[in-house]
Amino acid sequence: MPGWKDGMVQRFLQQRMVRRWQGLAEASATVDLGTLRNWRAQARTMRRQLDRVIHQAEHRLALPIIGSNPIRKPMGSDWAWRPDLWRGPIPVPGMASVASKSMICDGITVYHDCRRSELTVRQIRNTRESDVAPFGLRMDVFRFDGSFLSLVLDLPPDAAQGLRLRHLIRLDVIVEMEKPLEIFARLNIKHGPNVEQIVRELPLNEEEVMVEFDLAYTKVNEKRIEKLWVDLIFEGPAMNQIILRDVTLCRRPRAEL
């Protein structure tokens, strides 16, 4: 009952405030300038607070909802993962003149060999109906005098747990760009003192941008697998804007024959 009464009081006060400002708006064309100046100060103060509420509401209520983490994965998958950058807000959302080996957030690092960096990166909020991840990453590349640009994703420790040569590791990417370029994905598997590498080109001309890494064709020592990471390598990125709307990885055992 107290909650019901509180709601009634709140609605009454809100309606009263709306009627007051409707009256002030109608009278503002004829009121004296001193009073009008006072009303303007009150309205600006209120507008600042209303803008804050609207900004936070649009940010938090936009789809997809922050904190949601649905991942499309093939049947039989025993592990799936989306990096934190695409899941929630990061401490430093943007960087300019990004130097090589700059960590965008925990587990995401930029590498390049430019003498002068004209690269900016920024986490952006995904708002399209087709988006699944709450956030994306935008990279603006201007003049580029280097030979390579890569984004390194460190996979969590559980990616290596139980990993066998009969596993397929799948990478799904949703990417946009201003002009065409080539993107390669390289899976790195550290086993003992050695690192096995598998390289695949992302099929950017296809509707579903995904690649699979088949461990059966590697020389990985299953008993000594320590860690995994993925390099996304961008060929000829100069004067381009690249948006990674989503990045996910999953693994599944190959069907036994």
How does DSSP classify residue 84?
A: G
pTM over 0.85: no
Q: What is the pLDDT of residues 87-98, one digit of tens each?
A: 988 888 899 999
* Cα-based distances in Å from 13 to 7, 42, 47, 148, 240: 10, 17, 18, 61, 52
How far apart CA 217 and CA 242 sit, in angstroms, is: 32
Longest dimension (CA), the chain: 89
Please give the pLDDT value at position 67: 63
Q: Is the dihedral of CA 130, 132, 135, 140 positive or negative?
A: negative
Would you say domain 79-253 falls under CATH 2.60.120.260?
yes
Q: If you search the block for the tokens 């509401």, which residue do you land on?
A: 57
For the chain, the structural domain boundaries read 2-61, 79-253
Do 235 and 121 contact (CB within 8 A), yes or no?
no
Q: Where are the alpha helices (DSSP H) in 28-97?
A: 33-61
Please give the pLDDT value at position 231: 97
pLDDT(180) > 80: yes
End-to-end Cα separation, the chain, in angstroms: 66
Q: Is 209 left (phi over 0), alpha (psi -120 to 50) or beta?
A: beta
Q: What is the pLDDT of residues 120-153, one digit of tens each?
A: 999 998 887 778 888 999 999 999 988 999 999 9
Do 240 and 188 contact (CB within 8 A), yes or no?
no
